[in-house]
């Protein structure tokens, strides 16, 4: 009877250890790169004016792994948020990161004329 309990205990510990050490696929980067849901959530939060939540989701999307195009998009929205929050250095930094990934990156026509981030983007782009 004592051996049976020991065996059950050993199996239970092994199973629990296995459960504790498995990784969620969404935490894996490039091979399991899937920061897309966080990117979309960040953009929705941005559009709803929930900037703090947007920053968290957008940064999470970058950490989880995105394609180059998606990274540029995440950095663009992070730049917008920092520009409207009067964080000029962070705004410029995110525009620089977007342009480093894609040197031909341009804002959409409606975004280019924005009075806050339009001039900042043009300034960063002209410094390249």
Q: Please report the pLDDT score of residue 34 as a whole number.
A: 87
Q: What is the DSSP string of 7-43?
A: HHHHHHHHHHHHHHH---GGG--GGG---HHHHHHHH
Q: Please report the pLDDT score of residue 128 as a whole number.
A: 82
Find where tokens 């998009």 sit: 73
Which residues, 6 or more positions from 18, have their beta carbon under 8 angstroms from its beta carbon? none
pLDDT in tens, the chain (128 residues): 455 454 344 433 343 344 443 333 334 445 446 899 999 999 999 999 999 999 999 999 999 999 999 999 999 999 999 999 999 999 999 999 999 999 999 999 999 999 999 999 999 999 98
Q: Please report the pLDDT score of residue 72 as a whole number.
A: 98
Contact 65, 29 (CB under 8 A): yes
What domains are defined for the chain? 33-126 (1.25.40)
């Amino acid at each position: 009877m004592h051996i049976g309990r020991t065996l059950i205990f050993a199996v239970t510990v092994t199973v629990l250890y296995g459960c504790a050490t498995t990784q969620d696929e969404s935490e894996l980067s490039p091979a399991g790169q899937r920061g897309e849901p966080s990117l979309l959530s960040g953009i929705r939060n941005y559009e709803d004016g929930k900037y703090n939540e947007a920053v968290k989701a957008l940064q999470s999307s970058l950490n989880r792994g995105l394609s180059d195009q998606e990274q540029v998009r995440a950095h663009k929205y992070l730049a917008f948020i920092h520009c409207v929050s009067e964080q000029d250095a962070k705004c410029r930094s995110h525009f620089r990161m977007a342009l480093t990934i894609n040197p031909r990156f341009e804002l959409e026509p409606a975004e280019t004329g924005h009075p806050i981030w339009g001039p900042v983007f043009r300034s960063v782009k002209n410094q390249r």
